[in-house]
Amino acid sequence: MSKLRFQALFDAQNRKPVSLEDNLNRSQLFGENVFNKKSMRQYMTPEAFESVMNAMEFGHKIDRKTADQVASAMKSWALKKGATHYTHWFQPLTGSTAEKHDAFLEVLPNGEALEKFDGAQLVQQEPDASSFPNGGIRNTFEARGYTAWDPTSPAFIYGTALCIPTIFVAYTGEALDNKTPLLKSLQAVDEAATNVAKYFDKNVSKVIATLGWEQEYFLVDSALVNSRPDILLTGRALLGHSPAKGQQLDDHYFGSIPSRAMNFMRELELESLKLGIPVKTRHNEVAPNQFELAPIFEEANLAVDHNSLIMDVMGKVAEKHNFKVLFHEKPFAGINGSGKHNNWSLATNTGVNLLSPGKTPMKNLQFLTFFINTIKAVHDYEELVRASIASAGNDHRLGANEAPPAIISVFIGKQLSDVLDELENITNGKLSPEEKTELKLNVVGKIPEILLDNTDRNRTSPFAFTGNKFEFRAVGSSANCAPPMMILNAIVTKQLIEFKTAVDKLIDEKDMKKDDAIFNVLREYVKLSKKIRFEGDGYSQAWEKEAEKRGLSNHKTTPQALQAKVSKKAIQLFEELNIMNKVEVEARHEIELDEYTLKIQIESRVLGDIARNHIIPTAVRYQNTLIKNVEGLKNIFGKEFENIAKEQLILVKDISEHISKINAKITAMVDERKKANKLEHAEEKAFAYCNKVRPYFDEIRYHCDKLEVLVDDELWPMTKYRELLFTR
């Protein structure tokens, strides 16, 4: 066994659990490190407090004088909590978070030192962040991008820094981050949904999107990860033979949480609660060493920030517990990958969840309105929805051989399907009084029962209605929630605007009653969006065929899927709703393509290196042992040796074959890489990496994994799957 593998296993198996004090009152810890309403009230003048509240709720501007007051209050609070630095905290297009700390400390010309933080520093910064991807929006020599305070997400203390959530935009106004378009989409959906919600309740003046994410992840001992250059550099195992025991027995799922992992979770929860992240649920997932974490849902912008933040916290807490968290969508071939379910709904300022079936017929008409419009939106923009979750990692979950297909469909369950079927069959035009009563009894009156029976869940659906929210399950575990949420908000906005126009037209031109008009439009939508609804097994071959017949897209790879993001239809949508302009959309497309190319390029290089520098030399060493053995047998047995050494001879030959195949494939892969690198256009390059370079991965892996089972375990340099997955 290589020294590294031996040491890694030794370390992993001899870990002492990190002790942890967790007798604290968790509810009292909640939000301790957040400049929340409670702290704001305590540290701010009533006028400044009012001003921030208005900014949070209605998007009102905060003037300079108030900003100075807010900054001063934030500073006092932060210093009291032991912060020494402040930073604008933003989400560049790398998908993760960025921070650049500045000390509060200032030294005056007279040599006097003090802590300073004013409105100007709070509101806007110009970080020299020229190395973040910008898709050609900024020239690096003119690297002017700035960050601007987002008062809707409260400041918090992380480590010793006061973090101020901000947007990140170019000097010329284009968004360079994930938050800006998200905020714009939230504003758009607010307006459109409020207008529709007013049909049912005149008192509604604001609608927010809500998000409750569920984060799946793997926890692997850090020593073991460090012994695997592929996991270390790419986040996933590029090779490794499946262990005899994987997840067949389903004995990990919802099982008792291993104690080391439990200690990690407890500390993670404490840290998250202090940061105001309302973590609630923890459990084992399907694969060995795979877990899930979910908070209570929040307003979507805050929930997105909290997911980005917690991913960072997870990495830090894991380090303390000698773990590495793997967020990759498919770290280990052959067992389940990880996702990040995005539970999404709309809620009014009057406290109503618009996707929750109500108790009265009228409330249910409201429910049906938002429910059917969402389905119609996904139907009309299914390709864009697929594009919103495209990434190199997620390609392993969508469309690969051991994963659900890359087809977007909506699951709603039997009862709601029946309701929609009935709705579809009501007659055109004005409803007769009998029809109305019947309808209310049959369709609308039925819905509360659905809440009682929430059992028919379909785990294979990428987009499922689960009682009072839609659950977008196809989002990748490493993704930033903002892009898929932005797109969902955008398509629903567009749909609700269309709906309102159609209903108003029937009321104005056909003299219809409001109810009738709503029913009529909804009925049409049910018919028009039928093909997106699917209740069966989403993982089956039959569904792929059926979906093709229905004309649904099935984009299996990222470069292919991403095309929908720059389609005429998509650009029109984003421009119309003022979420992004064409330049921004195209820049993002280029960035995503580049990111894809780079990821495949890195994987390709790492795989080539490991196969040539670790696997082949080890196989040769073992082969030499076999050859020596055969020679010895020949000395002892003379002519008879061939019979006696038969198995060894076969092995010697097999090993040679695998080695030469690996070598040949690597050479061919490197050639393809060289060709791809010469391509100028980002999209061509991404397609080349996808279609020409990537296919070699499986072939090279196949032969390496064969060698793994042939070669003496003592010699094998790479930590094996069973060790990675079953060391607790």
Instruction: Determine if residue 296 is left, alpha or beta; phi over 0 gives left, psi from -120 to 50 gives alpha, anything else beta.
Output: beta
Give the torsion sign (CA, 351, 357, 363, 368): positive
Asked if 353 is part of the footprint of ligand ADP (rule: CB under 6 A), the reply reads: yes
The interface with ligand ADP within residues 137-156 (CB under 6 A) comprises none
Total residues binding Mg ion (CB under 5 A): 2
Report the alpha-carbon distance of residue 479 to residue 458 in Å, rounded: 23
Q: Which of ligand ADP, Mg ion, none has residue 227 at its interface (CB below 5 to 8 Å by kind)? A: none
* Residue 54 token pair: 């208005």
* Residue 716 token pair: 């094998």
Q: Which of Mg ion, ligand ADP, none has residue 307 at its interface (CB below 5 to 8 Å by kind)? A: none
Q: Is 42 helix (H, G, I), strand (E, B) or coil?
A: helix
Q: Choose among 440, 443, 435, 492: nearest CA to 463.
A: 492
Give the torsion sign (CA, 609, 611, 614, 617): negative
> Which amino acid is located at 405 in the chain?
P
Q: Which residue is nearest to ligand ADP (CB)?
A: 212
Distance in Å, CB of 455 to ligand ADP, minimum: 11
Distance in Å, CB of 345 to ligand ADP, minimum: 4
Q: Choose among 359, 445, 452, 374: nearest CA to 412.
A: 374
Distance in Å, CB of 200 to ligand ADP, minimum: 17
Looking at the Cβ atoms of 228 and 341, the one nearer to Mg ion is: 341
Distance in Å, CB of 214 to Mg ion, minimum: 5
Segment near ligand ADP (CB under 6 A), from 40-48, 466-474, 600-608, 672-680?
A: 466-474
Longest dimension (CA), the chain: 105
Looking at the Cβ atoms of 153 and 466, the one nearer to Mg ion is: 466
Residue 56 class from Cβ within 10 Å (0-12 exposed, 13-18 middle, 19+ buried)?
Answer: middle
Looking at the Cβ atoms of 453 and 642, the one nearer to ligand ADP is: 453
DSSP string, 502-525: HHHHHHHHS---HHHHHHHHHHHH
Segment near ligand ADP (CB under 6 A), from 122-130, 467-475, 541-549, 570-578?
A: 467-475
Looking at the Cβ atoms of 341 and 500, the one nearer to ligand ADP is: 341
Segment near ligand ADP (CB under 6 A), from 200-208, 464-472, 586-594, 635-643?
A: 464-472
Q: Count the helices and strands in the chain (H runs, E runs).
A: 28, 17
Report the alpha-carbon distance of residue 522 to residue 371 in Å, rounded: 10
Interface pattern 95-114 for Mg ion (x via CB under 5 A): --------------------
Report the alpha-carbon distance of residue 88 to residue 552 in Å, rounded: 43
Asked if 708 is part of the footprint of ligand ADP (rule: CB under 6 A), the reply reads: no
CB–CB of 408/386 below 8 Å? yes
Segment near ligand ADP (CB under 6 A), from 61-69, 266-274, 343-351, 571-579?
A: 343-351
Segment near ligand ADP (CB under 6 A), from 8-16, 185-193, 336-344, 645-653?
A: 336-344
Distance in Å, CB of 199 to ligand ADP, minimum: 21
Q: Which residue is nearest to Mg ion (CB)?
A: 341
Identify the residue among 469, 565, 589, 720 touching ligand ADP (CB under 6 A). 469
Segment near ligand ADP (CB under 6 A), from 46-54, 133-141, 337-345, 711-719?
A: 337-345
Distance in Å, CB of 150 to ligand ADP, minimum: 21
Report the alpha-carbon distance of residue 227 to residue 172 in Å, rounded: 46
> Phi/psi of residue 236, each to 5°?
-145, 160
Distance in Å, CB of 456 to ligand ADP, minimum: 13
Distance in Å, CB of 62 to ligand ADP, minimum: 29
Helix or strand holding residue 571 (H, E) = helix 568-576
Report the alpha-carbon distance of residue 226 to residue 6 in Å, rounded: 12
Question: Strand ranges (DSSP E) for 410-479?
Answer: 410-411, 463-465, 470-472
> Which amino acid is located at 227 in the chain?
S
Total residues binding ligand ADP (CB under 6 A): 17
Give the torsion sign (CA, 646, 648, 652, 653): positive
Segment near Mg ion (CB under 5 A), from 210-218, 571-579, 581-589, 710-718?
A: 210-218
Rounded to 5, what percent of the chain is helix, strand, coil?
55, 15, 35
Asked if 341 is part of the footprint of Mg ion (rule: CB under 5 A), the reply reads: yes
Report the alpha-carbon distance of residue 380 to residue 371 in Å, rounded: 15
The interface with ligand ADP within residues 471-490 (CB under 6 A) comprises 471
Distance in Å, CB of 284 to ligand ADP, minimum: 12
Report the alpha-carbon distance of residue 566 to residue 178 in Å, rounded: 17
Report the alpha-carbon distance of residue 92 to residue 655 in Å, rounded: 47
Segment near Mg ion (CB under 5 A), from 54-62, 214-222, 311-319, 716-724?
A: 214-222
Looking at the Cβ atoms of 224 and 464, the one nearer to ligand ADP is: 464
Segment near ligand ADP (CB under 6 A), from 322-330, 465-473, 484-492, 642-650?
A: 465-473
Question: Strand ranges (DSSP E) for 522-624?
Answer: none
Looking at the Cβ atoms of 341 and 658, the one nearer to Mg ion is: 341
Looking at the Cβ atoms of 305 and 595, the one nearer to ligand ADP is: 305
Report the alpha-carbon distance of residue 352 to residue 369 in Å, rounded: 14
> Phi/psi of residue 387, each to 5°?
-65, -30
Identify the residue among 222, 234, 345, 495 touching ligand ADP (CB under 6 A). 345
Segment near ligand ADP (CB under 6 A), from 132-140, 338-346, 421-429, 474-482?
A: 338-346
CB–CB of 179/150 below 8 Å? yes
Q: Which of ligand ADP, Mg ion, none has residue 296 at its interface (CB below 5 to 8 Å by kind)? A: ligand ADP
Looking at the Cβ atoms of 125 and 460, the one nearer to ligand ADP is: 460
HEC letters along 351-409: CCECCCCCCCHHHHHHHHHHHHHHHHHHHHCHHHHHHCCCCCCHHHCCCCCCCCCCCCC
Residue 525 CA neighbour count, 13 Å, CB half: 27
Distance in Å, CB of 472 to Mg ion, minimum: 10
Q: How far is CA 724 from CA 2, 225, 702, in A?
A: 16, 8, 19
Segment near Mg ion (CB under 5 A), from 1-9, 155-163, 211-219, 604-612?
A: 211-219
Distance in Å, CB of 463 to ligand ADP, minimum: 13
Q: Which of ligand ADP, Mg ion, none has residue 226 at its interface (CB below 5 to 8 Å by kind)? A: none
Identify the residue among 125, 222, 343, 460 touching ligand ADP (CB under 6 A). 343
The interface with ligand ADP within residues 177-236 (CB under 6 A) comprises 210-212, 214
Q: Which of ligand ADP, Mg ion, none has residue 694 at its interface (CB below 5 to 8 Å by kind)? A: none
Distance in Å, CB of 295 to ligand ADP, minimum: 6
End-to-end CA distance of the chain: 21
The interface with ligand ADP within residues 251-310 (CB under 6 A) comprises 281, 294-297
Q: Which of ligand ADP, Mg ion, none has residue 210 at its interface (CB below 5 to 8 Å by kind)? A: ligand ADP
Looking at the Cβ atoms of 283 and 569, the one nearer to ligand ADP is: 283
Distance in Å, CB of 460 to Mg ion, minimum: 13
DSSP string, 101-132: -EESEEE-TTS-EEE---HHHHHEE----TTS
Q: Which of Mg ion, ligand ADP, none has residue 703 at its interface (CB below 5 to 8 Å by kind)? A: none
- Which residues lie below 8 Å from residue 75, measured CB to CB, with a gap of 6+? 86, 104, 115, 116, 117, 162
Looking at the Cβ atoms of 288 and 295, the one nearer to ligand ADP is: 295
Q: Give the residues lining the site for ligand ADP (CB under 6 A).
A: 210-212, 214, 281, 294-297, 341, 343-345, 353, 468-469, 471
Interface contacts to Mg ion, rule CB under 5 A: 214, 341
